[in-house]
Amino acid sequence: MSKRVALVLGSGGARGYAHIGVIEEIERRGYEIACIAGCSMGAVVGGIYAAGKLDDYRKWIESLDYLDVLRLVDVSFRLGAIRGEKVFGHIRKIVGELNIEQLRIPYTAVATDLTNQQEIWFQEGCLHQAMRASAAIPSLFTPVVQGNRMLVDGGILNPLPIIPVVSSHCDLIIAVNLNATNQKHYQLPVIERPAAFRMRFDSLISSLGSHLPFRRKPAEKLIRIEQEIVAEKLAIPNPWLVDPADPKAGQSAATPEDTAAPKSATGSFIINNVGPASLLDLINQSFEVMQTSLAQYKIAGYPPDILINVPKRVCRFFEFYKAPELIALGREIARDTLDTYENERR
């Protein structure tokens, strides 16, 4: 008889795609996912899974290249960089109009009510609105207004919502933490994009070539263009763009030893040029630091039976064009973690 699992999917921006790989590995081993609680991207992936549409969602996000992702960015000039109507509109098409009560398993989406300064659990009502509110990442997606409440990402108060599944009477609680700092050996895999994607990308490089202030090696050019694309839509200053009038432009960065950089209390060098590149980046990095700390408190207060740690360094918060790599990484980490758990109980 398969073990029943209460699955907790944490918040972490684009790293939430790793949840898909985790779910695939859990099911591959014969475990039964009997209920889900999620926050932010965890609420989105969990809701889509509970609706039975995860395969369709995965096919969609894996089909997106850099330009496709940009087309989903509907820029806002209000309380967030992106309105999110295009992204969640497509999710609505995949999932359909469902209430949480209609899902095949119990589901909880966690959001934060800024008006009343409290955590909100969506366990009934419109699934789409629950996912949208839980994933309203401050500074990135505009908030959801519901009556007299302004709802934003649940990660502000509870980035790893274990409590909603404690009373589920499942055999195991498996929690997926997307803000781990102790998984140094995991790297984001390199996945070759289909030929059609490469052709479109090469075309983009050619069209932008005349606008670039200087040229770099081919391997570096891909990184440079990628950063320009994201920077343009999210208003992030691009470190590749150098002012030709600056006499120091293009020079190699000096090492901390060369510049006598200050050291932290632990003795490590503090490098000034690796900080946030914009106000949006500053807010997102601050948000991630807060989530990392809060997740540790949640884990300590209600330790899950199995904790799957996805390192937060593998990608930035808003790199939503790395779905194939993140799904593969989630599967790899889940496989290793479950192997360890099962071997200890033999």
Asked if 119 and 126 count as a contact pair (C-beta separation under 8 A), the reply is no
User: Helix or strand or coil: residue 107?
Assistant: strand
Residues 176 and 36 sit within 8 Å (Cβ to Cβ): no
Q: How far apart are CA 162 and CA 72, in angstroms?
A: 31
- Residue of 11, 40, 134, 139 marked catalytic: 40
C-alpha distances (whole Å) from 256 to each of 146, 250, 251, 252, 306 are: 50, 18, 15, 13, 40
Phi and psi, residue 97, nearest 5°: -90, 105
CB atoms within 10 A of CB 296: 16
Active site residue 11: no
Q: Say if residue 210 is exposed, middle or buried (CB neighbours under 10 Å; 0-12, 13-18, 19+).
A: exposed
Q: What is the dihedral of CA 163, 159, 34, 310, to 10 degrees?
A: -130
Residue 153 falls in the annotated catalytic set: yes
Burial of 106 (0-12, 13-18, 19+ CB in 10 A): middle
User: SS in 3 state form for 113-175?
Assistant: ECCCCEEEEECCCEHHHHHHHHCCCCEEECCEEECCEEEEEHHHCCCCCCHHHCCCCCCEEEE
Place of tokens 């099962």: 342
The residue from 113, 139, 153, 168 that is catalytic is: 153
Phi/psi of residue 311, nearest 5 degrees:
-65, 135
How many C-beta atoms surround the C-beta of residue 3 within 10 A? 15
Using an 8 Å Cβ cutoff, are 50 and 103 in contact? Answer: yes
Exposure on the CB side of residue 77, measured as CA atoms within 13 A: 0
Provide the annotated active-site residues: 40, 153
